[in-house]
Chain A
């Protein structure tokens, strides 16, 4: 279990893994726990911020275990989950965030169970500020957060194109930056987010919707394979 002498938020437990984009900032300010540590903790907290990179089923089971150890409100990262389903069946989750995907603008989406919950907005805002991030509200979360699902589809298509030898990865990045002003090329964007995260999200969307549009590019799967 990590002890952090710089912790300024002793009443908050954060669940995160070392590959979370905020990890180095998180350990400066919070008690950061792994999943196992979190569900075996006997400490009391006012709030749990769960940033674990889990898909719907595993997230649900984890949140269920977590709820046995604490009565604290939970803010959970649902980047890789069917958001609406988790919110329906995990009542202790009062708000959700999407922090797992690298943002070129240092910002994340959040969604509230109760849109009038101003206390929760304040809490998430403090967290965002501590992490040097901006936050944008996503009302009435349904299938998934907007940014991750959209960018995942763009990156997947870029990998389909690489796999079909439409162009080199370098030219695809150059084309998207210079033809339509993308802040990053999709290939470099995918590297920053982590192809395993892209693959996990698309597989989750595919599982939930049974829609072929979320089919993973073989090239992306190949590159992400070591993580799967």
Chain B
């Protein structure tokens, strides 16, 4: 499979990381954001990241110069219609995503592979926005943050995805030090589903607000379970609101399956504005600058 020209739509944390990773694979990457200035800032951040990688000895200056040249910022209407792959990494809003895919369907050649980095919507549902002939070329590519470091890419086949395409994409990623895992189009895919009870069961183990218990559970899961972070410190890092929203989405999608039921303690913290590290308080308290 030839993937030389990639369009990444959305220049937030994920879009930026995905764009950077593809540039490091010597692909020509066009970055697009509905806010053009924001995309330019993301490009600057990537270039700053390149110089840090040179300082750390991960790449040479000449390598990162080439990576930088691989990146450009475009307006949506100016993207190359003959790109090989377009990856959507915008806000998790179904209608906004569908509208974007509808536009892209009109702008891009029929050979372009369409991918969504969504973590919460069905790929089959998103593919309804594109023309019938495009649906075979539509799949999920779910990257993990930070996309330049985390090796996993979940490759999701929608009901109408041509399995040959996902097979070839997996081969392409696997030759570039990513670990691409195939999964079917089911809520939470693999990771966001299987990991739910790392948090959910920990919340049931403590039941009520108790920093002493949060620390105890975190310590046990690190020291006994070998996890790098405990569930409460990880929820604080991810953002308790983000974590709750994923749980709620998986819970709803599974028609209120008890295994995924959100916990009131998490909801109460969100309602109190205690969102984790980013708000200075979550399960734990943090020093505010």
Contact = CB atoms under 8 A, between A and B. Distances in A.
B263 to A, nearest CB: 11
Interface string B247-269: 00000000000110100000000
Interface of B: 144, 150-152, 154, 179, 181-184, 186, 189-191, 193-198, 200-202, 205, 212, 216-217, 219-228, 231, 258-259, 261
Interface string A11-55: 000000000000000000000000000000000000000000000
A90 interface: no
Contacts of A108: 224
Interface string A137-160: 111000111110111011011101
Interface of A: 103-105, 107-109, 134, 136-139, 143-147, 149-151, 153-154, 156-158, 160-161, 164-168, 171-172, 174-176, 178-184, 186, 211-213, 215
A136 B220 contact: yes
B226 A213 contact: no
A104 to B, nearest CB: 4
B220 A171 contact: no
Contacts of A144: 205
Contacts of B191: 175-176, 179-180
Contact of A153 (B189, B201, B221, B222): B201
Contacts of A157: 193-194, 196-197, 259
Given A150-B231, A157-B259, 12 more contacts: A105-B222, A107-B224, A108-B224, A137-B216, A146-B224, A158-B194, A171-B183, A174-B152, A179-B150, A179-B190, A183-B226, A212-B258
B286 to A, nearest CB: 22
Contacts of B181: 167, 171-172, 174-175
A182 B226 CA distance: 8
Identify whether the interface residues of A are mostly helix, strand, loop, or mixed.
Answer: mixed
B198 A154 contact: yes
A70 B25 CA distance: 69
B224 A176 contact: no
Nearest to A173: B181
Contacts of B198: 150, 154
A45 to B, nearest CB: 28
Which of A143, A160, A178 has the largest count of B CB atoms less than 10 A from its CB?
A178
